[in-house]
């Protein structure tokens, strides 16, 4: 319900405000007084535009810099809202208006809460959606049912394609068309399915053949590789006779050990006999023991040698006293003493034992004995090594008691003979191995080519399989779309039939309530076009209302049909009727104005008229004067 309308700079109005109440409000005034402008202002506030106006400049009051409308109304949620919309000329602009809007909820006196505003970067589509939520009025519903324009009331009788949208039937029709379009698109795509399925079958056959060829090639490759490995192993075995090498090594070790034994025995023979050395050592020990028993003679000998050396030095330098005791020294006496001491020394030397020489000879004997023992030990070790080497070599040729070198020579001869045979076999094996290697390379090349071709076939198969699966799904989906399209078509027809039936019944009832002479027997609505068909009482035959009714009756029937739309699409907070009495004679006009008040189609009906409005109880009246508008 609209409580207050303020218009500023809008067409004729410089600045004017109007208060409205519930029920029916008649807006009266002379022609061209500005009555319809109020409805246009309401339309402008709700949508930002006015039907038939190419731009907001056509709505601007001459000389004004902008236009604005403020609408205070109560929504379907019983809350009060204030909608403000303006279009202003920017500085230095002459033909372009800039629009702004604000939607607020009036919470209390002086207390308002912003809901949407262009200043907050909110857009027109958000405002239209919010207003449709609050009032139930969209641009289409406003044109069809809420704002019933002057001179346009009866045109609805011929039907209007927009009714499908307003009545909620377009969704089913759109779904039907969409399903049909999707089905057709999928069906056209599925036309390529047989060719793709044939291509897929061909690729699958090629993949099977390629797989069989690859398996055969791989089996042949494994066979050749096994044969090549056998030839390589045989060549390695022929080139290295491990048993002969082991025997040769063992015999060489035995020979080396025999040489070591021979050298050790020669060294042992070069050393003196052990018994002789033992006798010499015992004799030298006895000599040294005897020399030790005559130790005083040695001391006396050393003393005499010292005396003789000192006295000879004294005599030589002509000394007159003894250096040792200080007694007078006589040269003759000194000579006699020297002679006496020399005789005694010679006697001692004649019977002396050569201790140092004996000790040297004893050490030499001990050295030879040690050398003899070492040579004997070396010989024993060499003989043991020789025995071990011979045992090891004999273990390689069990049961053969011949000399090891004879056995080795025989084995070597056999080896040389076999070596010649093996050389010939190796030449044959090498030629075969070369042929096998060439065959393996050829097979590997073919396998690489086969793998590349197999990869291409796999990719082509995957692509075709995906495409075939996709088209099969699209074919099944096309059938589903066709079924859905049929269902939506049936639903659309059912909805149209139901809506047409209900609109016809409601139109008939409202027309009966509004008309003075109810001459219609039945009202029907064509579900295909929403054309109104009537059955007059005098003919009893259904025909289009435009043919069966005169101008005034067509007006009443058109008004009844539009009010039936209000009843079906509502509830709306208000309905705007612009000159619904145009073309009616006095009795019918008076009856219509009186009976509109009795209709309870919505909370508020604003009716523009410039005729006498009768005396219906509770009606409100607003008179618009040109002076007020100016």
- What CATH number does the domain containing 97 carry? 3.40.50.300
What pLDDT, on a 0 to 100 scale, did the predictor assign at position 124?
92
pLDDT at 614 > cutoff 60: no
Q: In whole angstroms, give the CA distance from residue 23 to residue 155.
A: 26
Instruction: Flag whether 137 is in a domain.
Output: yes
Same domain, 282 and 386: yes
Instruction: Identify the bridge partners of residue 66 per DSSP, sorted by sequence position.
Output: 88
Same domain, 249 and 137: no
Q: In whole angstroms, give the CA distance from residue 153 to residue 318.
A: 186
pLDDT band at 68 (very low <50, low <70, confident <90, very high): very high
Decide which of 380, 396, 412 is a domain's last residue: 396
DSSP 581-629: TTT--HHHHHHHHHHHTT--SSSEEEEEESS--TT-TT-EEEEE-HHHH
Mean pLDDT of all residues belonging to the chain: 80
What pLDDT, on a 0 to 100 scale, did the predictor assign at position 239?
46
Q: Which domain holds residue 276?
A: 243-396
What pLDDT, on a 0 to 100 scale, did the predictor assign at position 548?
64
Instruction: Flag whether 69 is in a domain.
Output: yes
Number of domains in the chain: 2
Q: In whole angstroms, give the CA distance from residue 465 to residue 316.
A: 140
Decide which of 364, 396, 428 is a domain's last residue: 396
Instruction: Flag whether 499 is in a domain.
Output: no
Say if CB 386 and CB 257 are below 8 A apart.
yes
Same domain, 150 and 19: yes
Contacts of 395 (CB under 8 A, 6+ apart): none
What pLDDT, on a 0 to 100 scale, did the predictor assign at position 290?
66
- Residue 283 φ/ψ, nearest 5 degrees: -60, -45
Same domain, 137 and 254: no
Instruction: Flag whether 432 is in a domain.
Output: no
Q: Beta 23-29 vs 620-624: how paired, if at all?
A: parallel
pLDDT band at 8 (very low <50, low <70, confident <90, very high): very high
Q: In whole angstroms, give the CA distance from residue 492 to residue 503.
A: 16
Task: Tally the residues of the chain.
Answer: 630
Same domain, 128 and 261: no
Tokens 């039937």 sit on residue:
169
The overall pTM is greater than 0.75? no
Sheet containing 23-29, strands listed edge to edge, beginning at the edge strand earlier in sequence: 147-148, 575-578, 604-609, 23-29, 620-624
pLDDT at 613 > cutoff 70: no
How far is C-alpha 388 from the geometric centre of its chain's CA atoms? 75
Instruction: Flag whether 425 is in a domain.
Output: no
Instruction: Flag whether 223 is in a domain.
Output: no
Same domain, 12 and 120: yes
Instruction: Flag whether 79 is in a domain.
Output: yes
Instruction: Flag whether 74 is in a domain.
Output: yes
Q: In whole angstroms, give the CA distance from residue 226 to residue 329.
A: 121
Say if CB 91 and CB 99 are below 8 A apart.
no
What pLDDT, on a 0 to 100 scale, did the predictor assign at position 341?
79
Same domain, 141 and 271: no
Decide which of 396, 426, 446 is a domain's last residue: 396
Contacts of 252 (CB under 8 A, 6+ apart): none
Same domain, 151 and 250: no
Query: In this structure, what token pair is assigned to residue 384?
Result: 């043991």
Q: In whole angstroms, give the CA distance from residue 518 to residue 264.
A: 159
- In percent, how much of the chain has pLDDT > 90? 12
**Mean pLDDT value across residues 290-317:** 72
């Amino acid at each position: 319900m609209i409580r207050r309308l303020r218009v500023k700079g809008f067409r004729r109005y410089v600045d004017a405000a109007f208060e409205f109440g519930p029920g029916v409000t008649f807006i009266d005034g002379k022609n061209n007084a500005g009555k319809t402008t109020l409805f246009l202002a309401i339309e402008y506030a709700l949508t930002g535009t006015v039907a038939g106006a190419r731009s907001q400049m056509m709505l601007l009051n001459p000389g004004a810099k902008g236009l604005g409308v403020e609408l205070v109304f109560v929504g379907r949620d019983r809350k009060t809202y204030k909608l403000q919309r303006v279009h202003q000329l920017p500085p230095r602009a002459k033909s372009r208006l800039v629009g702004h809007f604000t939607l607020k909820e009036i919470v209390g006196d002086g207390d308002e809460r912003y809901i949407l505003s262009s200043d907050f970067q909110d857009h027109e589509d958000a405002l239209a959606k919010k207003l449709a939520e609050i009032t139930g009025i969209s641009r289409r519903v406003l044109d069809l049912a809420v704002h019933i324009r002057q001179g346009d009331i009866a045109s609805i009788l011929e039907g209007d394609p927009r009714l499908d949208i307003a009545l909620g039937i377009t969704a089913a029709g759109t779904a039907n068309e969409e399903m049909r379009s999707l089905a057709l698109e999928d069906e056209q795509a599925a036309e390529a399915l047989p060719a793709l399925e044939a291509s897929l079958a061909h690729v699958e056959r090629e993949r099977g053949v390629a797989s069989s060829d690859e398996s055969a090639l791989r089996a042949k490759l494994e066979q050749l590789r096994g044969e090549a490995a056998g030839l390589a192993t045989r060549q390695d075995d022929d080139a290295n006779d491990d048993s002969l090498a082991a025997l040769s090594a063992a015999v060489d070790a035995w020979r080396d050990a025999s040489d070591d034994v021979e050298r050790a025995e020669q060294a042992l023979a070069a050393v003196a006999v052990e018994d002789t050395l033992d006798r010499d050592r015992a004799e030298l020990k006895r000599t040294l023991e005897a020399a030790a028993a005559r130790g005083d003679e040695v001391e006396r000998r050393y003393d005499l040698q010292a005396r003789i050396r000192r006295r000879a030095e004294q005599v030589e330098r002509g000394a007159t006293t003894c250096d040792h005791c200080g007694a007078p020294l006589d040269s003759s006496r000194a000579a006699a003493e020297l002679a006496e001491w020399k005789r005694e020394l010679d006697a001692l030397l004649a019977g002396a034992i050569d201790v140092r020489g004996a000790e040297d000879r004893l050490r030499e004997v001990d050295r030879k004995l040690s050398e003899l023992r070492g040579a004997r030990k070396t010989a024993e070790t060499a003989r043991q090594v020789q025995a071990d080497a011979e045992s090891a070599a004999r273990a390689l040729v069990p049961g053969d008691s011949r000399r090891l070198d004879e056995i080795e020579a025989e084995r070597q001869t056999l080896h040389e003979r076999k070596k010649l045979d093996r050389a010939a076999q190796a030449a044959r094996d090498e030629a075969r191995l070369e042929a096998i290697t060439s065959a393996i390379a050829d097979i590997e090349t073919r396998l690489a080519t086969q793998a590349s071709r197999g990869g291409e076939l796999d990719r082509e198969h995957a692509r075709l399989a995906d495409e075939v699966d996709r088209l099969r799904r699209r074919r099944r989906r096309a059938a589903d779309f066709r079924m859905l399209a049929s269902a939506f078509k049936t639903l659309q027809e059912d909805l149209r039939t139901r809506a047409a039936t209900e609109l016809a019944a409601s139109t008939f009832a409202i027309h009966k309530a509004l008309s003075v002479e109810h001459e219609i027997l039945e009202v029907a609505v064509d579900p295909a076009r929403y054309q109104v068909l009537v059955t007059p009482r005098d003919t009893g035959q259904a025909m289009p209302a435009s043919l069966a009714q005169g101008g005034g009756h067509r007006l009443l029937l058109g008004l009844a049909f539009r009010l039936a739309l209000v009843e079906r699409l509502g509830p709306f907070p208000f309905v705007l009727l612009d000159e619904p009495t145009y073309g009616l004679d006095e009795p019918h006009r008076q009856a219509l104005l009186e009976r509109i008040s009795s209709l309870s189609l919505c909370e508020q009906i604003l009716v523009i008229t410039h005729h006498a409005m009768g005396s219906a109880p509770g009606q409100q009246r607003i008179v618009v004067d040109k002076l007020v508008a100016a």
